[in-house]
Structure 1
Amino acid sequence: MIRRIEQTTSTNDDARSPEYRHGDIVWAERQTAGRGQRGHTWTSTSESITFSLVLEPTFLPIAEQFLLSEVVTLALTDCLAGFGIDTRIKWTNDIYFGDRKMVGMLIEHTCSGTTLQRTIAGIGINVNQKEFDPSLPNPVSMAQAAGRTFDRTEVLESFRRHCMARYAQLERGDRESLQREFRQRMYGLGERRPFRLPDGTGFEAVIEGVRPTGELLLRHDDGSLHGYLFREVEFVIKNRDKSLLLPK
């Protein structure tokens, strides 16, 4: 079920209602308190899609929760590829077209004992925007990337199909394929990139992948390999020229 509403505070909050079950989506035209990663907000417009997907992964141990990020981000890249847009997954779960952010996501879990009980993936996709708030550092929309506009309902239904297929892959126990494909689609894989620690210290390192538990693997200049959990390190994305070359 996809339920479309005009306005709410946060679709992630709405999706906590027991009326929504596995595979259901809450889609709001406007969120007044949409949440993003690291305490950021997500701005919704009539040209974007802001929604929350409900999953009930009761078979999955808490320690393997990062697999759900892999499921949803791979589904997003599958969906966008179906519309002719080649994207990459910026750890942990943003979707980038080149060096620009097309999709943001916040995943929240509830647990029961040693396993997950309910997962809510709050997602914002830039679909048809041509202009953005100038305070945003590097946004891009599907329309800008592809040079045409899209039917938002079609995009959302496509994502849901791809996500259920990826989720079925996880249910079958095909963890290795999910992890391998996630690594292959990582933004900046094999590249030397700038990062920042929580205390503000900057450094550069080569992205080598991600552990099954979700740590980002970085090769430092001294040759050492370190794994960083979310909030232990942050990408430094340099502001780019606001112009974007569209496909001919």
Structure 2
Amino acid sequence: MMTYSAPEFLVYPELQSTNTELKNLLAKNKLAEYSVIVTPHQTAGRGQVGNVWESELNKNLTFSLLLRPTFLAPHLQFYISKLVSMAIIETIKQIANIEAKIKWPNDIYINDKKAAGILIENSILGTKLDYSVVGIGLNVNQEIFISDAPNPISLWQLTNEHYNLEKLLERLLENIEHAYHQLEVNRLSLINNEYHNSLYRISGYHWFEDNKGKFEACIDHINEMGLLTLVDKEGQKREYAFKELKFVIND
């Protein structure tokens, strides 16, 4: 049995979206921090800006976690994405001995394929963050993907091994809690350095695409609000918010 000490650990046979269900419960009840909703079958999982997450029954991790980062100023909310991303890649390394990377802003990539996605929905109350609903989909034991998602990959496809989902979830929640504590004690420089060093395509020039077309550039930095700055081959800096930039794969 799971030993992770979530105040509420709710398992549903099927849900359209764990994030949506957690927010519905929040509207009715005051849930404690670290409450978790998990389902083996998420039928309409959501990604960033309406993207759909494919997940076969009983094959992957699909869950949502409640955090209450009231100590964090709203303009620093991207730190939640940073710490969750780092916890996922640390878990993949521990469980499967695979080096994963963080594709800005919060996809988890192994080589040039997507192993996990994160959807964080924050609520602001006055001048503080009230809560964060952290939705995570991690491809674990799925052998075949049938949707039109461009580049999914599972741990099974990489290692030809099946993984215990309960143990994997417990380890991931423990790693998130550990990373979250670093944020609570204001170790922002440590988080920034680890996130930067874990970025997908952090070294060298790569192809990207914005509304003006494709270009080659290298990653310069990501600021505290999550904006990405690239430097192109002409030495010009280009700054992007979420969904303003596409990573060109295999160009």
TM value normalised by structure 2: 0.90
Q: Does 1:223 align with 2:230?
A: no
Corresponding residue number in structure 2 for 1:245: none
Q: Does 1:29 align with 2:36?
A: no
Q: Provide structure 2 residue ranges, at least 5 long, that are not aligned to the other structure.
A: 1-5
**Structural mapping, 1:138-149, within 5 Å:** 138-149=151-162
Matched position secondary structure for 1:133: coil
Equivalent of residue 62 in structure 1, options 66, 74, 77: 74
**Structural mapping, 1:104-115, within 5 Å:** 104-115=117-128
Corresponding residue number in structure 1 for 2:3: none
**Structural mapping, 1:42-191, within 5 Å:** 42-45=53-56, 46-83=58-95, 84-133=97-146, 135-191=148-204
CA distance in 1, matches of 2:158, 2:199: 19
Letter in 2 for 1:14: E
Q: Does 1:5 align with 2:12?
A: yes
Larger mean Cα displacement after TM superposition, 138-147 or 54-63? 138-147
CA distance in 2, matches of 1:30, 1:237: 30
Larger mean Cα displacement after TM superposition, 211-220 or 55-64? 211-220
CA distance in 2, matches of 1:238, 1:121: 30
| 1:44 shift after superposition | 2.0
CA deviation string 1:163-222 (max 9, x = no partner): 00000000001000000000000000023222222x362222112231222111211121
CA deviation string 1:57-80 (max 9, x = no partner): 011001101111111001111111
Matched position secondary structure for 2:14: strand
TM value normalised by structure 1: 0.91
Is the Cα–Cα contact under 8 Å of residues 190 and 208 in structure 1 kept in the other structure?
no
What do you get for the CA RMSD once the two structures are aligned? Answer: 1.5
CA distance in 1, matches of 2:14, 2:243: 31
Q: Does 1:15 align with 2:22?
A: yes
CA distance in 2, matches of 1:129, 1:206: 33
Q: Equivalent pairs: percent with the same residue?
A: 34
CA deviation string 1:23-62 (max 9, x = no partner): 1111112223211013211122121111111110011001
